[in-house]
């Protein structure tokens, strides 16, 4: 079963900001943001225990309580177990994501991709989300950006643990689908080379965006097409850099990134195109993309995302982007491919 066959639409809600990503978000604002997504008609919500050490799941569970459970789809992630005991948040070793959730809960996070930890993680997520099931489970951050050279050893733990557990849960009908939720393409490439695990698709954050898509286009998309699989694009605005924010990949954007954004924006301004529309519609133009899930920490962002998705973008804009060399020549573009 592909992700496309499970998801209720191409625009979903990425819950990372609900975990106090980069800033402390008032509870009322977080709940109102999920409410705004619901009122907009969004029915796919992605979450993870890692987001604020369970905070994002707790807030989403509160916001969706009372909504008809059959009307929406939830994905969450495994690889971390959140304990009741607390720890020094500043001392956590989180690779390139260090400090991203400094304002989240101080509950101790245990990294564990084993079979038993996978089952416990799902059970704990169900409690925080106030539901009796989730449709999709992703194995989270199983990549070099979090683990450095240790990522292969962690991948092997997941191969004999999480992957087998999720294959079984999917085959038993407990969940509908599973895959990896990562920020790099290499783990997806590695998993697709294995015969035993049978994933349904992947959540790939930041790697099929207007600012960074070459490797995914060359190494991931053909493999997905060959196997009838698909991906969800997370971080379509590249941590905000594409739409004027200061961060790219969880860190301050480099001058080179800011220069690329400025050059793309100059073309967008000339055609009267918003950068959000450019970002979302670029990602969705690839037939292997099932949905995009921009994160939102304020209710007003939801309407902006919807407007960007529905904005009429002139074909000449895409043609100019391609001719200027800002997108890979092989990347599908709306109206051109």
Distance (Å) of CA 27 to CA 12, 23, 38, 55, 273: 21, 12, 17, 10, 34
Distance CA 46, CA 328 (A): 28
Query: Could you tell me which of 79, 194, 63 has the C-alpha nearest to residue 128?
Result: 63
Beta carbons within 8 Å of 211's beta carbon, 6+ residues apart: 238, 241, 242, 248, 257, 260, 261
Q: For residue 74, what are the β-bridge partners?
A: 45
User: In 3-state terms, what secondary structure has residue 202?
Assistant: strand
- Exposure of 145 in the CB half-sphere (CA atoms within 13 A): 18
Rounded to 5°, angle at Cα 117 from 112 and 120: 140
Query: Could you tell me which of 277, 268, 278, 337 has the C-alpha nearest to residue 306?
Result: 277
Distance CA 89, CA 26 (A): 19
DSSP line for 287-312: TTEEEEE-B-SSHHHHHHHHHHHH--
* 8 Å CB contact between 29 and 297: yes
- Active centre residues (catalytic): 46, 51, 77
* 8 Å CB contact between 208 and 167: no
């Amino acid at each position: 079963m592909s992700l496309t066959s499970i998801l209720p639409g191409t625009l979903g809600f990425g819950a990372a900001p609900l975990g106090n990503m980069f800033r402390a978000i008032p509870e009322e604002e977080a709940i109102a943001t999920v409410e705004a997504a619901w009122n907009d008609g969004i029915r796919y919500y992605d979450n993870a225990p890692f987001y604020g050490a369970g905070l994002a799941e707790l807030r989403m569970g509160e916001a969706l309580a009372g909504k008809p459970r059959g009307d929406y789809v939830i994905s969450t992630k495994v690889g971390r177990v959140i304990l009741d005991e607390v720890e020094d948040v500043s001392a956590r070793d989180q690779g390139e994501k260090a400090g991203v959730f400094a304002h989240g809960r101080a509950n101790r996070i245990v990294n564990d991709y084993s079979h038993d930890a996978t089952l416990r993680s799902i059970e704990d997520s169900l409690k925080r989300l106030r539901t009796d099931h989730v449709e999709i489970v992703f194995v989270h951050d199983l990549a070099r950006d979090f683990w450095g050279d240790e990522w292969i050893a962690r991948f092997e733990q997941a191969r004999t643990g999480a992957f087998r557990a999720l294959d079984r849960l999917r085959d038993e009908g407990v969940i509908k689908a599973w895959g990896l939720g990562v920020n790099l393409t290499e783990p997806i490439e590695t998993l697709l080379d294995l015969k035993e695990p049978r994933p349904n698709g992947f959540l790939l954050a930041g790697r099929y965006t207007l600012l960074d898509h070459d490797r995914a286009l060359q190494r991931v998309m053909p493999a997905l097409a060959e196997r009838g699989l698909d991906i969800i694009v997370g971080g379509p605005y590249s941590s905000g850099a594409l739409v004027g924010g200061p961060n790219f990949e969880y860190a301050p954007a480099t001058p080179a990134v800011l220069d690329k954004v400025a050059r793309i924006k100059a073309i967008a301004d000339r055609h009267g195109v918003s950068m959000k529309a450019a970002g979302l519609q670029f990602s969705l133009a690839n037939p292997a993309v099932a949905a995009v899930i921009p994160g939102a920490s304020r209710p007003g962002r939801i309407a902006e995302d919807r407007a960007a998705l529905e904005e009429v973008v002139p074909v000449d804009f895409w043609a100019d982007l391609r001719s200027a060399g800002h997108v890979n020549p092989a990347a599908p573009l709306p109206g051109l491919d």
